[in-house]
Amino acid sequence: MSTETPTLKKKDFQSDQDVRWCPGCGDYSILSAVQTVFAKLGLPKEKMVIVSGIGCSSRFPYYMDTYGFHTIHGRAPAFASGLKMARPDLHVWVVTGDGDAMSIGGNHFIHLLRRNVDVNVLLFNNRIYGLTKGQYSPTSEEGKRTKSSPMGSVDHPFNPLGLALGSGASFVGRTVDIFQPHMRELMLRAQAHRGTSFIEIYQNCNIFNDKAFSYMTDKPNRADNVLYLEHGKPMIFGAEQNKGIRLNGLQLEVIELGGSMGPEDCLVWDEDRQNPAFAFLLAQLAPPNFPTPIGVFRAVEQSTYDGDVLRQIDAATTQNPGKLEDLIYGGDTWTVEPPQEQPAG
Amino acid sequence: MTTAVTNPEEKSGRAVTPEKLSDVVIRFAGDSGDGMQLTGGQFTSTSAMVGNDLSTLPDYPAEIRAPQGTLAGVSAFQVRIANHDIHTPGDEPDVLVAMNPAALVKNLGDLKTNGVVIANTDDFDARNLKKANLETNPLEDGSVEGYRVYEVALGTMTRRTLEGSPLDSKSQERCKNMFALGMAYWMFSRPLEPTIQWLKKKFGRKPDIAEANVKVLKAGWNYCDITQVFQVRYEVDKAQLEPGIYRNISGNSALAMGLVAASRRSGLPLFLGAYPITPASDVLHNLSTYKNFGVTTFQAEDEIAAICAAIGAAYGGALGVTASSGPGIALKGEALGLAMIVELPLIVVNVQRGGPSTGLPTKTEQSDLFQAFYGRNGESPIPILAAASPKDCFDIALEACKIAVKYMVPVMVLSDGYIANGSEPWLLPKLEDLPDLRTDFRTDPEGFHPYQRDEKTLARPWAIPGTPGLEHRIGGLEKEAVTGNVSYDPMNHQAMTDVRAAKVARIVQDVPDLEVDGEASGDLLVLGWGSTSGVITGALNVARSEGLNVSRAHLRHLNPFPGNLGEVLASFKQVLVPEMNCGQLAFILQGKYLKEVVSLTKVEGKPFYRHEIVSRVKELLKGDADVH
């Protein structure tokens, strides 16, 4: 942390605008985490920029006292890419939702990740369209009855982590709106990572899709249904820490610990494996047969798009600094002489 | 014959006195794979070096390689050279070089009576006649009657020239366009050296290919010189253009250079977001070679991302640009509306092509004027500029930057396929004459509000991220005046809608009055916009030489229009508006000025011919005379 930067507090990141999410919305908790984390980062406030698309989550910039740009539906990654390329000194955070990033903005989402532009993406996944009042989203489960699917949705949902990993994402994580310390820790990791950091946040929409994640957030179920990924540690979960995850061929399976099996039989989590296959396997784990993993799925070093673009420009400007005169007067030119005039007088 | 090519002299050994011509139109036509664009381009560059005035019209199919020898695959390049100031690539070619039957039949109808045809007889065999859907050989069935036809076995000559060359037969065959070019150079008394130098540079790493092409080029020249094939030879003297340094320039090249110049003169780094699309891609190609000017080019995943990234860069303080054509502009509409409401500077280039939908990708049209005016949801006026010629693309880029930055507004620049790919001599500007486009970012937090406006321009401050104390939020929701906070207040929305429109209207203070060429009032004004400038000028020169009294004016500023436009329109009994669409400018003028105008429209994928405008002018003036 620079000594010249004044110490900022959480309230320094709260804007003067009234927050207009529904009372009880998971977004409040995420907003609080981001404000806390930004204060903790010790970076100058004016260097922080939040770029969002459209949807409930995308109102986020209005509530942050940083630079903020509420753009158009699904396109935040493209605005953020242009901004980061033009201004590598800025810290750019994209806030998006499951409709914004997975549906209308799917294309920009995958291309941001494959390019590995150095920005952070928070995807608020509530598995429903909230702002348009309750239609199924691309992450809604099959068969979901909503206003636009009265007989149940026949869409197969996207797995955002699988999509991100398939796009070559260098940093992929998942957390849950009410798991404050876990969420903050993940956000700090995202800021520290060079390249696109993608975090899926399970977020409860208490109006249109209430309790979508209660199977893993309610205290009695939590320990049995959540697998905390910890780098270098065996994957163990359960109220009694009595269950583990084992690799069997190309499958993951749950094993009971205690009898013939112990922690040494469990898969040891390695988040910086170059091969994304393990992370992809983990991303498939879901109830009812598996716990839901949260934490860092992948964190690998890769060159960043903005860094490479800058390097090319630096090399070109150093080798042969452009001169406007050469540009205009270069190429094949010819001269038209003034007509010979009779001397005056 | 082949022995003579080893050391050709450009000074002809034959006692043919060249006939002086003031003006000549040549069209090279062949299969898409025959290299006709390259051949025409070389003839053009050489003619520029010789000092002619010139104008070009490339015309090629959308398919990269349509089936060989078919009518669909014909690619042509027309160039007009003159010893005086010209404005169009010419209505009718004097000379047609036809590499195959399809090229001949497709272009013969345009050729001037008694014009010259150079036909590559090697390709007039049964197979190629069939590909061109011909029952009989047009060289033998009377089709070419009334023309002076020179039959030359270009392929055979080329192969003979290259006997012993290390190139395979297919590569040898590819050199035959150079034989045709060499012949054209002889016929029009052009030097070979510029093309020889160009070939050596282009094929620097493939010396065998360079050598073969040079050899065939010289062979074509020598063939004309030694044989008695042509009875005549022509010369077109230097044009007496305005003194100064010139280079030949296409619209897309000029536009790219203009954008770099705008970046330099404004001190803003240039950021181009683009997605490849015909006929705008050359803007991306050219700018991607200007990295040494600090230019960032971003080949985005789609048209939408291209404009959004450019807006993101502009938000960060760069000169944001996106360049596309109609279909791409359609996709950019929502983002353009955002740039308009958040009031960030941006340059949006539309190199128009035939529409609607995918339309005619490689053909020219001016049918996106309504799209520029109205192609966004909500009340969303933006300034619109239209380049009048290839070289004007340079100036228009600078002007677009000036307006965008001064008024904090996205600017639409209209070009089209004709001026984007066509070229003309460009009198190079003096660097010190380029406008000063420097601008200030807001830095003072004292009394800062993101939507507080400059009294003179109504522009809001450009406050870029990274500036301490100016943290603020912008977005696509309606915002409260001054503070920029989200506001759904009815009166505020009315006021903000009005002020955004007033700001664009106020740009008129930076728009020069419309100049009328000819009498300032009278019976007939021909009013054009965009790429029709040249052909209208040419047509009026013809009409005036026949004693007709007709005036001309040209719009480069479509929104806002020049302040005196209404007055100019009212000063003429009749106004003729030629445009390559179905009457879009005419519609707007009539709505805005309540002045009846006569439309002359054309959507055939090619520019107007001079005679089309001349005859309409005559009709209108005749009708006028009948009334009185």
pLDDT score of B14: 60
The backbone torsions φ and ψ at residue A283, rounded to the nearest 5 degrees and listed phi first, read -65, -20
Q: What is the pLDDT of residues B348-391, one digit of tens each?
A: 999 999 999 999 999 999 999 999 999 999 999 999 999 999 99
As a whole number of angstroms, the distance between CA B60 and CA B45 comes to 19
Which residues in A lie closer than 8 A to residue B261 (C-beta atoms)? Answer: 324, 327-328
Using a CB-CB cut-off of 8 Å, the residues of chain A touching B257 are: 327-328
Residue B270 to residue B291: CA distance in whole angstroms: 10
* Chain A residue nearest residue B295, CA to CA: A313
Q: Please enumerate in sequence order all residues whose Cβ is within 8 A of that of A288, keeping only pairs 6 or more positions apart, or say none.
A: none
* C-alpha torsion B69→B203→B158→B180, nearest 10: 70
> Residue B352 to residues B59, B409, B415, B416, B572: CA-CA distances in angstroms?
15, 21, 6, 4, 30
For the domain made up of B2-236, the CATH class stated in words is: alpha beta
Position B10 scores a pLDDT of 53
Domain edges within chain A: 10-227
How far apart (Å, rounded) are the C-alpha atoms in residues B554 and A186? Answer: 61
B407 at the A interface (CB within 8 A)? no
The CATH code belonging to domain B516-627 is: 3.40.50.920
C-alpha to C-alpha distance for B206 and B310, rounded to whole angstroms: 39
Q: Burial code of B94-112, b = ≥16 C-beta within 10 A, e = fewer?
A: bbbbbbbbbbbbbbbebbb
Closest A-chain CA to B344: A69
pLDDT at B628: 43
Q: Would you call B49 an interface residue with chain A, using a CB distance cutoff of 8 Å? A: yes
pLDDT on residue B64: 82
At residue B538, the pLDDT reads: 94
- A254 - beta bridge partners? A245
DSSP code per residue over A232-274:
TSB-EESTTS-EEEEEETTEEEEEE-SSS--GGGSPBP-TT-S
What average pLDDT does range B140-155 have in this prediction? 94
pLDDT at A345: 44
The pLDDT-based confidence of B507 (bands split at 50, 70, 90) is very high
**Who among B312, B471, B485 is closest to A82 (CB)?**
B312
B473 vs A contacts (CB less than 8 Å): 15, 61-62, 64, 67-70
> Residue ranges of the domains in chain B?
2-236, 247-430, 516-627
Model pLDDT, residue A341:
63
Please tell me if residue B437 touches chain A, with a CB cutoff of 8 Å.
no
Q: How far is A121 from chain B (nearest CA, A)?
A: 16
Tokens of B598: 């006569």
Q: A151: distance to nearest CA of chain B, Å?
A: 33
- The pLDDT tens digits of the residues spanning A302-326 come to 999 999 999 999 999 999 999 999 9
Mean pLDDT to the nearest integer, B194-220 = 96
Contact between residue B349 and residue B283 where contact means Cβ atoms under 8 Å apart: yes
Do A70 and B467 make contact, defined as CB atoms within 8 angstroms?
no
Looking at the domain that runs over B247-430, which CATH code has it been given? Answer: 3.40.50.970
Q: Please name which of B207, B267, B297 lies closest in space to residue B462, comparing C-alpha atoms.
A: B267
CA distance A51 to B66: 45
B197 touches chain A (CB under 8 A): no
pLDDT of res. A340 = 73
Q: What is residue A343's predicted lDDT score, i.e. its pLDDT?
A: 58
Q: Which pair of tokens denotes residue B170?
A: 């297919």
CATH architecture of A10-227: 3-Layer(aba) Sandwich (3.40)
Question: For residue B66, what pLDDT band results from cuts at 50, 70 and 90?
Answer: confident
Q: Is the pLDDT of residue B11 over 60?
A: no
**B268 part of contact set with chain A, CB < 8 Å:** no
Q: What whole-number distance in Å separates Cα of residue B609 and Cα of residue A152?
A: 62
pLDDT digits (tens, 9 = 90+) for B234-291: 999 999 889 999 999 999 999 999 999 999 999 999 999 999 999 999 999 999 999 9
pLDDT band at B6; cut points 50, 70, 90: very low
Using one digit for the tens of pLDDT, what is the confidence trace for B86-130?
999 999 999 999 999 999 999 999 999 999 999 999 999 999 999
Give the DSSP letter of residue A197. Answer: E
Which tokens belong to B104?
Answer: 């001949």
Query: Which B residues 302-321 touch A at CB under 8 Å?
Result: 302, 304-306, 308-318, 320
- Residue A121's φ and ψ, nearest 5 degrees, are -120, 125
List CB contacts of A3: < 8 A, sequence separation 6 or more.
none
Question: Residue B242: closest CA among chain A residues belongs to which residue?
Answer: A336
CB within 8 Å: B269 and A316: no
Q: Which residues of A touch B306 (CB under 8 A)?
A: 78
Whether B462 contacts chain A with CB within 8 A: no
The rounded distance, in Å, linking the Cα atoms of A313 and A311 is 5
Question: pLDDT tens for residues B567-612?
Answer: 999 999 999 999 999 999 999 999 999 999 999 999 999 999 999 9
Q: Which residues of A touch B470 (CB under 8 A)?
A: 46
Low-confidence ranges of chain A (pLDDT < 70): 1-5, 341-345
For residue B265, the chain A residue with the least C-alpha distance is: A324
A-interface mutation test, from B49, B195, B291, B295, most A Cβ less than 10 A away: B291
Which residues from chain A sit within 8 angstroms of residue B465, using beta carbons? 46-47, 49, 67, 83, 87, 90
Whether residue B242 lies within 8 A of chain A, CB to CB, comes out as yes
Query: Does B428 sit within 8 Å of A334, measured CB to CB?
Result: no
Of A72, A322, A333, the CB nearest to B334: A72
Cβ–Cβ of B244/A336 closer than 8 Å? yes
Residues 412-431, chain B: which have Cβ within 8 Å of A? 428-429, 431
Residues of A in contact with B428 (CB under 8 A): 328-329, 333
Residue among B292, B466, B469 whose CB faces A322 most closely: B292
User: Which residues face B152 on adjacent strands?
Assistant: B120
Output the pLDDT for position B189.
Answer: 94
Q: What is the mean pLDDT of chain B?
A: 94
Which of B257, B292, B340, B424 best tests the A interface by mutation, with the highest count of A CBs <10 A? Answer: B292
Equal CATH topology for B247-430 and B516-627? yes
Give ipTM to 2 decimals: 0.97
For A62, name the nearest residue in chain B, comparing CA atoms only.
B473
Instruction: With a cut of 80, say whether residue B7 has pLDDT above it.
Output: no
Average pLDDT for residues B403-431, to the nearest whole number?
97
Distance between B596 CA and the closest CA of chain A, angstroms: 41
